[in-house]
Amino acid sequence: MKQVVTFGEIMLRLSPPLNYRLTQTPTFEATYGGGEANVAASLTQLGMPAAHVTCFPANELGQAATQHFQRYGVNMQHTVFRGERLGLYFLEVGASMRPSKVVYDRFDSAFANLRPADFNWEEILKDASWFHWTGITPAISAAAAQACQDAITTARRLGITVSGDVNYRRNLWQYGQKAQDVMPGLVEGCDVIVASENDSEDLFGIVPQEGASHSFTSMAEQLMARFPTVKQVITTRRETLSASHNQLKGILYDGKSFVESPSYDIVPIVDRIGGGDAFIAGFIYGSLTTHDQQQALTFGVASSALKHTIHGDFNLATKAEVDEVVKGNTSGRLLR
Amino acid sequence: MKQVVTFGEIMLRLSPPLNYRLTQTPTFEATYGGGEANVAASLTQLGMPAAHVTCFPANELGQAATQHFQRYGVNMQHTVFRGERLGLYFLEVGASMRPSKVVYDRFDSAFANLRPADFNWEEILKDASWFHWTGITPAISAAAAQACQDAITTARRLGITVSGDVNYRRNLWQYGQKAQDVMPGLVEGCDVIVASENDSEDLFGIVPQEGASHSFTSMAEQLMARFPTVKQVITTRRETLSASHNQLKGILYDGKSFVESPSYDIVPIVDRIGGGDAFIAGFIYGSLTTHDQQQALTFGVASSALKHTIHGDFNLATKAEVDEVVKGNTSGRLLR
Amino acid sequence: MKQVVTFGEIMLRLSPPLNYRLTQTPTFEATYGGGEANVAASLTQLGMPAAHVTCFPANELGQAATQHFQRYGVNMQHTVFRGERLGLYFLEVGASMRPSKVVYDRFDSAFANLRPADFNWEEILKDASWFHWTGITPAISAAAAQACQDAITTARRLGITVSGDVNYRRNLWQYGQKAQDVMPGLVEGCDVIVASENDSEDLFGIVPQEGASHSFTSMAEQLMARFPTVKQVITTRRETLSASHNQLKGILYDGKSFVESPSYDIVPIVDRIGGGDAFIAGFIYGSLTTHDQQQALTFGVASSALKHTIHGDFNLATKAEVDEVVKGNTSGRLLR
Amino acid sequence: MKQVVTFGEIMLRLSPPLNYRLTQTPTFEATYGGGEANVAASLTQLGMPAAHVTCFPANELGQAATQHFQRYGVNMQHTVFRGERLGLYFLEVGASMRPSKVVYDRFDSAFANLRPADFNWEEILKDASWFHWTGITPAISAAAAQACQDAITTARRLGITVSGDVNYRRNLWQYGQKAQDVMPGLVEGCDVIVASENDSEDLFGIVPQEGASHSFTSMAEQLMARFPTVKQVITTRRETLSASHNQLKGILYDGKSFVESPSYDIVPIVDRIGGGDAFIAGFIYGSLTTHDQQQALTFGVASSALKHTIHGDFNLATKAEVDEVVKGNTSGRLLR
Amino acid sequence: MKQVVTFGEIMLRLSPPLNYRLTQTPTFEATYGGGEANVAASLTQLGMPAAHVTCFPANELGQAATQHFQRYGVNMQHTVFRGERLGLYFLEVGASMRPSKVVYDRFDSAFANLRPADFNWEEILKDASWFHWTGITPAISAAAAQACQDAITTARRLGITVSGDVNYRRNLWQYGQKAQDVMPGLVEGCDVIVASENDSEDLFGIVPQEGASHSFTSMAEQLMARFPTVKQVITTRRETLSASHNQLKGILYDGKSFVESPSYDIVPIVDRIGGGDAFIAGFIYGSLTTHDQQQALTFGVASSALKHTIHGDFNLATKAEVDEVVKGNTSGRLLR
Amino acid sequence: MKQVVTFGEIMLRLSPPLNYRLTQTPTFEATYGGGEANVAASLTQLGMPAAHVTCFPANELGQAATQHFQRYGVNMQHTVFRGERLGLYFLEVGASMRPSKVVYDRFDSAFANLRPADFNWEEILKDASWFHWTGITPAISAAAAQACQDAITTARRLGITVSGDVNYRRNLWQYGQKAQDVMPGLVEGCDVIVASENDSEDLFGIVPQEGASHSFTSMAEQLMARFPTVKQVITTRRETLSASHNQLKGILYDGKSFVESPSYDIVPIVDRIGGGDAFIAGFIYGSLTTHDQQQALTFGVASSALKHTIHGDFNLATKAEVDEVVKGNTSGRLLR
Ligand SMILES: [Ca+2]
Ligand SMILES: [Ca+2]
Ligand SMILES: [Ca+2]
Ligand SMILES: [Ca+2]
Ligand SMILES: [Ca+2]
Ligand SMILES: [Ca+2]
Ligand SMILES: [Ca+2]
Ligand SMILES: [Ca+2]
Ligand SMILES: [Ca+2]
Ligand SMILES: [Ca+2]
Ligand SMILES: [Ca+2]
Ligand SMILES: [Ca+2]
Ligand code: NI
Ligand code: NI
Ligand code: NI
Ligand code: NI
Ligand code: NI
Ligand code: NI
Ligand code: NI
Ligand code: NI
Ligand code: NI
Ligand code: NI
Ligand code: NI
Ligand code: NI
Ligand code: NI
Ligand code: NI
Ligand code: NI
Ligand code: NI
Ligand code: NI
Ligand code: NI
């Protein structure tokens, strides 16, 4: 079976127990995650082979992070060990009207200092069915942007489906190049793009036509006109009623039809981090195993809803569990 | 004061902290419980003497389980120590649309291998006011079914009230006899039966009459016709809005009138395990201390609602706390 | 910058983890708090200098409590070390219809046995902008009542604003004097009083006029007539839907106008203790930094709402976080 | 089988995890103990019935303490519930040259305020084989001293063996009477006394004869002359090499012969509290089950050595485990 | 690089925190291990590829155990999922003269019920350099013994080095065959045998010759005479000074020379479980990477010594760490 | 009372619980420390006022670190908040022959990027009695070296005693200057130098004279000749028997006499980090409160020994506790 390949930074995540604040906690829980690796790990839990490609420092923390993903069955054999430090982030978990908060400490990480030539993409991608990247990677450093570009170009040449989550975070772009200059080159090689109207406006200057009945459709149409390889644009709509209570659905435009998933009510939220990544993993899984984009989209959103009930950065739900939610069973009835 | 006597298996329960999944947890919390013993422990917390009868392996875990129930005042003096292993179960606690999940590891336990002759029921029951059993026990082994039958027969002869929670779990019956053949002999000696329409259909082939206005009443009437010692049939109705949010009420039929409790809204659910057992304990308590079956039923459901807010297998609520809920005070206002 | 000064007892708070009951827990979490000190610590988190004055036993627990408040920037330099024991309380955290419960063990504490002459109020208050006390202090012992009276009298003479939370708890008053005899002398010197209609009736025999359109306004008018220095009467209105779900707003009367804050929905509640203290801290902060009592009141209630999402006795929210809620952003949207 | 009865205060013990200091810990572990109750619980673990008599406040902590001892099989049925607070102590566990430290908060506890008339000693002692008390009890209050005297007098009249651990702690005696006046009346009724040369000098003015070859024998002879009911005087000799490393042996004089146990090397020490109580429990067990005082003494010291490896206030070792150490097997070889 | 293959049962290990006793603990730490799998995991930590072959139940615990070994890089791809339960054991960690204690609950596990035909040994062993088994496996069930025999026979035919740790545990052999009848057939195909004089006498009736200067050499000579494929016999000598303090060395006889490692002093012992398995893993590593049996033996014992300082069933030490001990650096000097 | 002032980086320290390895731990304990700040915090615990000067990022972690030192009474009012990240280090705690290990992640921290002009040394040092720095600070960055030089120069001008722990760590010096070029300028202004023979050779090319009876005395003499302001050279001698067992003494040369402290045996070691800093704090305390350098040296070493039994980076021992060890009481006898 061919594997999905993802590429990006993995960080050590440190969070106080329960809802303790960063300023008061005497202990941290440790786990590991990153937007792209979360997609890979969520896929292996669904039963689909996946490999993640990254760069770690050659120390105990790089080893611990490798082992964490190996544990969940992610193929980590292409990890490059070079550099000095593992990026990390601190997560404070909110409740009710108090937001969760992420404090990053990721600058100058081993990943930021990777060398593009260390990655032999021909070799890495030779058994791949799909390649996934996000807009975080090109934001980290010129080297990371270059490696990402190399991967996309190679994947395209090998005929592999490519998806990109543009995920624009303004304050990450600090190494001297502009997202607006870098991102178009990366999107050019993609089949599937995850983007909201805001992302599109900020990155590509695309604004929904005045008077368009659906802003998303209007945006997606312009995006597809600009980047002709793109066949599907998707995103989630999240209603944030509180830090503990969200509603979530997904939408998709393929150039012809607008598709919408059911909306799921999530209360209480156990761990919101990686919700978007679980959506993408579910959508990739659905796309590769069915030929029905409505099914793929709903599978993605149901995956994401379940992720919110699971501790850690990625979705430990199985295919059977997601199917149950897709079927409409959200009763949470005790299983014996 | 006479004591309530219960009989059945007690298991070690192992659960990950918080909402962690079984596949990710590095620690387990340990507690002990079993459907019948939970009734006994819930009763001692309400102030009513209760004894539990069981069979444990003669090792440290059998001792720890004995001590756990002794701690809460359950009379464990009739415990038989024989056999090799304590049954156990793993509990994963869900949230929102993700169900809680129980993985059993109870086959070939000391209790399954008990010897009926080890239990001197005349002696055990000599100070009893009430005897309670469940359909779990006869499902475990022929020996357990025989000991249960002996207990019921003796209790009946001594004029003790007998209640049975039929609690049909198809996949437990694996030792070669059918529930449909074994259960009628046990129900024959009972005064109170806990059963839903599904249980009744599966076990006794009893189906509510077509066109009956209340399916429960119709079922209960037929059950009482078939087993003439039965004077009350009770059950709970649970609305599972999610793993974190349920609504619960209780219903009863005594051959003449249909009785219904108020419905309680439970959100968030702290620990759902043993909710049914807390209901039965509350009903037994109410029945023995009042002569009003409406009061007994409501006391049972209020007990069960409170159990859902308490960690562990049984109800640590006091009579005063249940009374407060019965009076309609569900405000949870801080007590100083 | 001048500092707010508070005076009162600090206790060690011991609570089982999560929602465990006191009777089942094998561990306790330890933190420290007291109604007045909570106000001081909440203020330093908002960026306002505050000092707390108290009496601790000269042992390791007195040191630990001192350090706990020092950690959060409270000026503890006027602590008197004398006496034998630190008062303490046990907190059981409820859920749904099960209330949280506080068991006090505070009698005969070092604070109860303080000597009024140990406190040089002229010196302590020389840089103060505001002095705050509560009705807990005079309830503890005659000596505590005397020290509180000394502080109020000195503050008044020095022209410092004085606020008092009358907080009547009948079962605390056990040393031989009546609240009704002691409290009027203390209220006499105040500018701001926190009191509900119940408090006013119990302590001062003030009953809202029959037929008054607002019971609070009617009460506050009579209170201000009786104690002419009082310029504002405030309180919170709490709707306790369950132990996990409350709604909260604040009201104020200044002799002329009745002011009301928005109502905040709080679900789930992480830690309800100190919610009232956070309200007062927020109100003091708002009063000292703006000249708008509507703004001060809303800032107080938003502070209190946030406190309910934070573990421990006092409010670790910053000014920016409270401002966000005041602006109406209660979405709890993830901050990166 | 007759039971051993003990009488005395039980406290909540709160200790930081591991070797943390009291001034730095954010959590406490909770357990319960007291010198006399520790003897009872150590005995039930050895297989000998034991009851403990005490007075608890009628609150959740009194219940939790009752349950803690019930869990380990101690008969708690004569507990009196009256009064306001449970005594407590804080334990900091040292290491190497840093001593462990106990901070008491036990004044004015429910036990200190007990009423002697609440204890019907005729009834309590009717099935007793042995009664044990310590010098802590008469130090707490006049009422406690009186109840202790009542118990000893009744036990003597009923022909029950009485042991007393004089355990003189100067700073406990604060209610107005002197240990030197109270203790002789209590020792008068005893068969076995636990006392060191220091205790004897401080309490009874007994000083080993100059030039005596053994100071202990000389002291014990004078003690037995003064209190003619006393048949055995015992004590332990502890070499404290560090907080983590002690050597322990026991000695006994019976008026004729001096008996000495082997010395046990204990390293590392897991929990030193209750070591003396485990010694007494072992000695009582040995005395009641053999007629050889050398065996009883060695059984006591081996029990105490094992206690030092067990967390909590009392000895969870079984008879078989103590026998193994008595036989000389201190290899700690893994048991499967 | 060829891999080492091991075959045997993996169990869930549940241990109380710190030195708590099984009868007192409210929580368990969870890890996974088994004598043969521990060898595989210890090898992957040293940098040598290793695969473990086993049979797990098709439930969450089988998955968690798979993931635990995957995490540390063990190839688990040949795991068979069949059967009902994961074997488990409870570990109480002793201290000083109190031994650690293991309570097994492994009967009727998925592994015991494996089907020999499920394992395609030709396929499994095709890339193997070494195959390792222990005497635990044939003790579990006739099916497990058969699968072990199949593996050894296949390995021998494929020219793979075979090692067996005879590890005789009398009370494990309960399925109807005798160790004395089964074991010779398995030892016949081996190159390296781990056995003590006791094992040899119990299993093969081999007794060191009277008057032999070294009992081990005499035993090993007879063993090699009886089983001519065996080229090396090895074992450890352990001096158990206490549960916290052991001394350890290794010895070897190859038919000609007797080889001895240095002796290592281990104090304190963090976790003794898997010490023997770490020795074997180190010896295999040394044998495959050097041609010097003195070096291999010393590397094995140094590995085992380090294992005693590491939590869990297997040795997380790296080659560099073992080399340091081999070089004689046991100072434990802080590394920065 | 004048205060001791220290200057240097503070890091977040993250350590697995107990003796877990970095590669296996799922949680970290969090505390804060740094060589110079540890001196300040150790001094405040002894009762001497101390201020620490540092630069923190303006985020939650900078606040948490500030609060951690405030908690222990260190004056943190001169903290500069500027920059992006808090340096951190991971600590794995060894045992027996397995060393503890520190993994640093401190490059590009807020402290490394400090601006010398942010520190007004005239103002900061105006109430100082003593200034202390270490060789870590000039190793971090040119800016840090400059600020350190400014501080020393100012202190000297103001007549404040200056001590420097040269603490040469080769691999820290990575910003382009050589320790050998930078350090002499800093040592020039000092009164007390902490240095071993190795440090002296590496930094200053000073080698003990051949044939000198004491290598330390010979080195110190040359150092004092080269840097005439230096009046005392001190260091510790540590015998590392294992990671759990060290022996420690201190030595001093003042140009005339060689002074030596007693040697302390430390077993088990709870936490070795900060042992050297505790020594210096004790020596400063002793120097400022007595005029006897033998007493100061012994007080320093006794402080350091106690530190090894205390969790965290600095010494929580009080003066009374150190005095006890100085008096020779290392028995660790329980204190009540
Ligand atoms: Ca490095
Ligand atoms: Ca996301
Ligand atoms: Ca057994
Ligand atoms: Ca149930
Ligand atoms: Ca005191
Ligand atoms: Ca409050
Ligand atoms: Ca009370
Ligand atoms: Ca003791
Ligand atoms: Ca199954
Ligand atoms: Ca082993
Ligand atoms: Ca920043
Ligand atoms: Ca150091
Ligand atoms: Ni977490
Ligand atoms: Ni992990
Ligand atoms: Ni909703
Ligand atoms: Ni739990
Ligand atoms: Ni329990
Ligand atoms: Ni509801
Ligand atoms: Ni808490
Ligand atoms: Ni704190
Ligand atoms: Ni609401
Ligand atoms: Ni403990
Ligand atoms: Ni307990
Ligand atoms: Ni020793
Ligand atoms: Ni462990
Ligand atoms: Ni693991
Ligand atoms: Ni040794
Ligand atoms: Ni620690
Ligand atoms: Ni701290
Ligand atoms: Ni030593």
- The pLDDT value recorded for residue E254 is 97
Residue C209 CA: distances (Å) to CA of A227, B298, C205, F100 = 74, 41, 12, 74
Question: What's residue C212's pLDDT?
Answer: 77
User: What is the distance between the alpha carbons of residues A84 and F106, in angstroms, rounded to a whole number?
Assistant: 10
What residue of D is the nearest CA neighbor of B71?
D71
Ordered mean pLDDT values, 10 residues apiece, chain E (336 residues): 95 94 92 98 97 96 94 95 94 96 93 98 97 98 98 98 97 95 96 97 94 90 97 97 97 97 97 98 97 96 98 96 97 93
Ligand that comes closest to the CA of residue F271: 28
Minimal Cα–Cα distance from F68 to chain A, Å? Answer: 9
Q: Show residues of chain E in contact with B21, CB under 8 Å.
A: 60
Q: Which residues contact D147 (CB under 8 A, 6 or more apart)?
A: D7, D114, D116, D119, D137
Among partner residues B24, B94, B102, which is closest to A332 by beta-carbon distance? B94
The first and second tokens of residue A76, run together, are 């980590």
pLDDT digits (tens, 9 = 90+) for B86-120: 999 999 999 999 999 999 999 899 999 999 999 99
Q: Which residues of C touch D63 (CB under 8 A)?
A: 23
Task: From chain A, pick out residues whose CB is under 8 angstroms from the CB of C275.
Answer: none
Looking at residue C291, what is its pLDDT? 85
pLDDT for the residue F72: 94
Chain B interface, best mutation among D59, D60, D70, by max B CB count within 10 A: D70
> What percent of chain B shows pLDDT beyond 70?
100
Indicate yes or no: CB of E26 within 8 angstroms of CB of B29: yes
CB E133 within 8 A of CB E14: no
Identify the pLDDT of residue B226. Answer: 97
Residue F213 has pLDDT above 80, yes or no: no
pLDDT in tens, C320-330: 999 999 999 99
**In the prediction, which pLDDT does E5 show?**
98
Instruction: Inform me whether the pLDDT recorded for A38 exceeds 90.
Output: yes
- Say what percent of chain B tops pLDDT 90: 95
Percentage of the residues of chain D whose pLDDT score is greater than 70: 100
Counting every residue written for chain C, the total comes to: 336
Interacting residues of C218 by C-beta distance below 8 A, sequence separation 6+: C208, C209, C212
CA-to-CA distance for E67 and E52, rounded, in angstroms?
12
* A8/A274 Cα distance (integer angstroms): 14
Mean pLDDT of the B237-258 span: 97
Query: Could you please report the per-residue DSSP string of C32-63?
Result: EE-HHHHHHHHHHHHT--EEEE-EE-SSHHHH
Report DSSP letters for F251-284, one per residue.
EEE-SS-EEEPPPEEE-S-S--TTHHHHHHHHHH
Distance from CA of D181 to the nearest CA of C (A): 26
pLDDT digits (tens, 9 = 90+) for F162-196: 999 999 999 999 999 999 999 999 999 899 999 99
Q: At D336, is the pLDDT very low, low, confident or very high (cuts 50, 70, 90)? A: confident
Which pLDDT band, with edges at 50, 70 and 90, does D26 fall under?
A: confident
Task: Write down the mean pLDDT value for chain F.
Answer: 96
What residues in C contact B267, CB-CB < 8 Å?
96, 242, 244-245
Under 8 Å between Cβ of B261 and B297: yes
Nearest CA-CA distance, residue E215 and chain B, Å: 37
Residues with Cβ within 8 Å of residue E267, at least 6 apart in sequence: E244, E245, E246, F96, F242, F244, F245
Closest by alpha carbon to E137, among E224, E54, E76, E231? E54
Residue B154 to residue B156: CA distance in whole angstroms: 5
Q: What is the pLDDT of residue A336?
A: 87
In the predicted model, is pLDDT for residue A213 greater than 80? no
Question: How does the average pLDDT of chain D come out, rounded?
Answer: 96
How confident is the model at residue A211, as a pLDDT?
A: 79
Per-residue pLDDT tens over the stretch C263-307: 999 999 999 999 999 999 999 999 999 989 999 999 999 999 999
**C318 Cβ contact list (under 8 Å, min separation 6):** C45, C46, C47
E34 Cβ contact list (under 8 Å, min separation 6):
E8, E9, E10, E11, E54, E136, E313
- pLDDT above 80: residue F153: yes
Note the pTM of the prediction, 2 decimals: 0.92
Given an 8 Å threshold on Cβ–Cβ distance, is D331 in contact with E104?
A: no
CA pair distance D237, A17, nearest whole angstrom = 46
Task: Choose the weakest-confidence range: A1-5, B268-272, B314-318, F257-261.
Answer: A1-5
Q: Verify whether the Cβ–Cβ distance C270 to A95 is below 8 Å.
A: yes
Give the span between the Cα atoms of E190 and E280, in whole angstroms.
Answer: 15
Question: What ipTM was reported for this prediction?
Answer: 0.90
**Predicted confidence band at D212 (pLDDT cuts at 50, 70, 90)?**
confident
* Cα within 13 Å of Cα(F181), Cβ side: 7
Q: What is the pLDDT of residue F210?
A: 84
For E270, which of F95, F169, F272 is closest by C-beta distance?
F95
Taking the centre of ligand 10 as the mean of its atom positions, its distance from the CA of residue E313, in whole angstroms, is: 9
For the stretch D285-333, pLDDT in tens is 999 999 899 999 999 999 999 999 999 999 999 999 999 999 999 999 9
User: Do D13 and D271 touch, CB atoms closer than 8 A?
Assistant: no
| Cα dist from D330 to D238, D333, E98, E263, F268, whole Å | 18, 8, 7, 21, 20
**Confidence tier at B336 by pLDDT (50, 70, 90):** confident
Task: Using the predicted structure, report yes or no on whether residue F14 has a pLDDT greater than 80.
Answer: yes
Measured from the Cβ of residue B197, the count of other Cβ atoms closer than 10 Å reads 16
Query: Count of CB atoms within 10 A of residue F265's CB?
Result: 16
Contact D38, D165 (CB under 8 A): no
pLDDT at E212: 76
Buried b (16+ CB within 10 A) or exposed e, F194-220: bbbbebbebbbebebeeeeeeebbbbb
Closest-CA residue of chain D to B63: D72
Measured in angstroms, how far is the CA atom of residue F68 from the centroid of ligand 20? 9
Distance in Å, CA C118 to ligand 5 centroid: 19
Average the pLDDT over B135-153 and give the result: 98
The verdict on a CB contact (< 8 Å) between E71 and A70 is yes
Q: Check whether the bond before B268 is cis (ω within 30° of 0).
A: yes
- pLDDT at residue B213 in the model: 77
> What DSSP character marks residue D229?
T
Count, residues in chain A: 336
pLDDT digits (tens, 9 = 90+) for F16-30: 999 999 988 989 999
B64: amino acid identity, one letter = A
pLDDT at A289: 97
Q: What pairs with residue F46 in β-bridges?
A: none
- Mark the residues whose beta carbon lies below 5 A from ion ligand 15: A 265, 267
Confidence of residue C210 (pLDDT cuts 50, 70, 90): confident
Would you place residue A25 in the very low, low, confident or very high pLDDT band (cuts 50, 70, 90)? very high
- C-beta separation of B249 from B266 below 8 A: no
Cα of F65 to nearest chain C Cα, Å: 10
Q: What confidence category does residue A212 fall into, taking pLDDT thresholds of 50, 70 and 90? A: confident
Q: What is the pLDDT of residue E90?
A: 94
Q: Which of C18, C23, C97 sits opposite B332 (nearest CB)?
A: C97
Kindly tell me the sign of the dihedral angle through the C-alpha atoms of D33, D36, D39, D40.
negative
Q: Which residue has the higher pLDDT, D237 or B211?
A: D237
Q: Is the peptide bond before C268 cis (omega within 30 degrees of 0)?
A: yes
Query: B284 alpha carbon to ligand 20 midpoint, in Å?
Result: 46
E168 closest CA partner among E137, E189, E141, E207: E137
Nearest to B96 among A309, A311, A316 (CB): A309
First to last CA, chain C: 32
Q: How many alpha carbons lie under 13 Å from residue D71 in its C-beta half-sphere?
A: 23
Q: What is the DSSP letter of D335?
A: B
DSSP code of C2?
-
Displacement of CA D79 from its chain's centroid (Å): 19
User: How far is it between the farthest Cα atoms of chain A?
Assistant: 56
Residues 6+ apart with CB under 8 A from E224: E230, E231, E233, E255
CA quadruple E105, E110, E116, E121: dihedral sign: negative
Angstroms from B99 CA to nearest CA on chain A: 4
Closest partner CB to E311 (pick from F19, F97, F100):
F19
Average pLDDT over residues B45-70: 95
| E334/F95 Cβ within 8 A | no
Picking from F184, F186, F91, F83, the residue whose alpha carbon sits closest to that of residue F131 is F186
Instruction: Identify whether the C-beta of residue E200 lies closer than 8 Å to the C-beta of residue E206.
Output: yes
Of A91, A88, A134, nearest in space to A110 by CA:
A88
List the single residue in A with minimal CA-CA distance to E70. A71
Rounded distance between C-alpha atoms, residue C106 and residue F34, angstroms: 39
Q: What is the mean pLDDT of residues F118-147?
A: 97
Which residues of chain F neighbour D245 with C-beta distances below 8 Å? 267
Determine, for residues C68 and F70 on separate chains, whether the beta-carbon distance falls below 8 Å.
no
Give the whole-angstrom CA distance, residue B24 versus residue A270: 15
What angle is formed at CA A136 by the lines to CA A135 and CA A137, rounded to 5 degrees? 90
Nearest chain A residue to C246 by CA: give it: A96
Min Cα distance F310 → chain A (Å) is 16
Partner-chain contact A30 F27, CB within 8 Å: yes
The shortest CB-CB distance from A64 to any of F22, F27, F101 is to F22
Calculate how far, in angstroms, residue D167's C-alpha sits from the geometric centre of ligand 5: 19
Q: In Å, how far from its chain's centre is CA E250?
A: 15
Which of C98, C104, C242 should we substitute to test contact with B (largest number of B Cβ atoms within 10 Å)? C98
